[in-house]
Amino acid sequence: MIRLIAFLGNPGKEYKETRHNAGFLFADDLYQNAVWKVKFHSAFYEENGRKILKPMTMMNLSGTAISEAASFYKLKADEILIVHDDLELPLGKAKLQKGGGLQGHNGLRSIKERIGSDAFYRLRIGIGRPQHGDVRLYVTSPFKKDEMITLSALFTKLHAVMNTLDNPVTAEISV
């Protein structure tokens, strides 16, 4: 059973609609009426016994917030779901899985280092990989208008996945 969901992104207006903020964007879509508090270096919300976090550290330091919350609530890695952008999946696709490689994602690396395990669940939201150019610039660039439409359609499908977190199973979702 998932007891903590952490949606990854970077705080600040300049990052609001960037690819690296796919996790934050999904949290805002999913919890439109949430009243967020500040706790664990995060925007914090609780719903149906689940703790919801949007770490307010930069992406690469996400482990700070997740480890503080996990320690406070005495959670095991397999009770945590991390929602994040993923370069290896094309835009319009997502995958729910337990564990897996970090694939160069520094936010995931930070979480693994801080909680001492990579056995947490992941909801990977595809942002695609750039054909050419600097990946760091790509992930911090905003989604284009048509990409936001695709992302919104994917989020609609992901709402159903979020209702299965009492018994999460590997799933691939696409629009």
| Side-chain-facing half-sphere of 56: CA atoms under 13 Å | 11
* pLDDT confidence of residue 63: 94
Give domain 4-174's CATH number out of 3.40.50.1470, 2.20.28.90, 3.90.550.10, 3.30.200.20: 3.40.50.1470
Cα–Cα dist 33/38, whole Å: 16
pLDDT at residue 124, as a whole number = 96
Burial class (CB in 10 A: 0-12, 13-18, 19+), 128: middle
Low-confidence ranges of the chain (pLDDT < 50): none
Distance CA 129, CA 100 (A): 19
Ranges of each domain in the chain: 4-174
| φ, ψ dihedrals at 90, nearest 5° | -70, 155
Reported as a single tens digit per residue, the pLDDT across 96-139 is 999 887 777 788 999 999 999 999 999 999 999 998 888 889 99
| Residue reference for tokens 């054909």 | 131
pTM, entire model: 0.95
- Active-site residue, from 20, 41, 84, 105: 20
Place of tokens 């999913």: 30
Our answer to whether residue 20 is catalytic in this structure is yes
